[in-house]
Amino acid sequence: MDIYGLDGRPLRQLWKAGAQAYRRVVAEDLRILAYSMGGTQISVSHNSVIHMIEAQARYLGKLITAVIEARSQGRTLALRIRPDVLQAYNEQLQSLLSKTSWADARCSSWYKTEDGRNVHSWPKNVGQYQAELAQVHWGDFIVEGSASTSVQKRADWGNDRIRWFWMGLAAVGLMVVTMTMGVRNERAEGVSTASGV
């Protein structure tokens, strides 16, 4: 099955020199929902790929939900990864992979393209992948259609949610420190009273 992107270019042509996708799921230059479940660079040698696919399903669910919500309101929405974001992301992965045994020149495997790039392996651990896909960074996308402002609201809400999370975490930390200091002071006062000071 051929999937076509902008200017009628098929995905197989885009990936001729080796597949690459943003966060291993969002393919380049495609306005349609062309995503890759269990696709590029999710092979792991230390855990089950099922954990990777579950993270992808949750991530894609967020993208698809935004499109479905727009459609249910009679609006349009198209999401496409920004080329600079895709390039930076894949360069970072290649940099990390260059430090692994898969990158060794003596290692020839189906993980590598003809030019030696590894487009199959994930260079981090599964937990890091799950954390990376836990939130959609809406600013990483070119957003088109009549519902594009709703995506900006999602981005703003997501940033606020993160801000509130860190503020809440700081408040809990401050409470713990205050309680710990209170316990220490009570102990110190108890020792002073017991010794008759």
Distance in angstroms (rounded) separating the CA atoms of residues 126 and 42: 9
CB-hemisphere CA count at 13 Å for 188?
A: 6
Helix (H) or strand (E) holding 54: helix 49-72
Q: What angle do CA 127, 96, 133 make, to 5 degrees?
A: 35
Q: What is the dihedral of CA 16, 22, 25, 31, to 10 degrees?
A: -80
Cβ(25)–Cβ(36) below 8 Å:
yes
Distance in angstroms (rounded) separating the CA atoms of residues 57 and 27: 15
pLDDT for the residue numbered 195: 53
Claim: this prediction has a pTM higher than 0.75: no
Per CATH, is 6-146 categorized as 2.30.30.140?
no
Would you give per-residue pLDDT tens digits along the chain (197 residues)? 677 777 787 777 877 777 788 888 888 776 544 455 555 555 666 677 788 888 888 888 888 888 899 999 999 998 889 999 999 998 998 899 888 887 787 877 777 788 878 877 888 888 888 898 888 999 899 998 999 888 777 665 555 455 555 556 666 666 666 667 665 666 666 655 555 55
Cβ(191)–Cβ(177) below 8 Å:
no
pLDDT for the residue numbered 30: 67
pLDDT for the residue numbered 43: 62
Q: Is 52 helix (H, G, I), strand (E, B) or coil?
A: helix
Cβ neighbours, 10 Å, residue 98: 14
DSSP symbol at 135: S
pLDDT for the residue numbered 33: 47
Q: What angle do CA 55, 75, 149 make, to 5 degrees?
A: 70
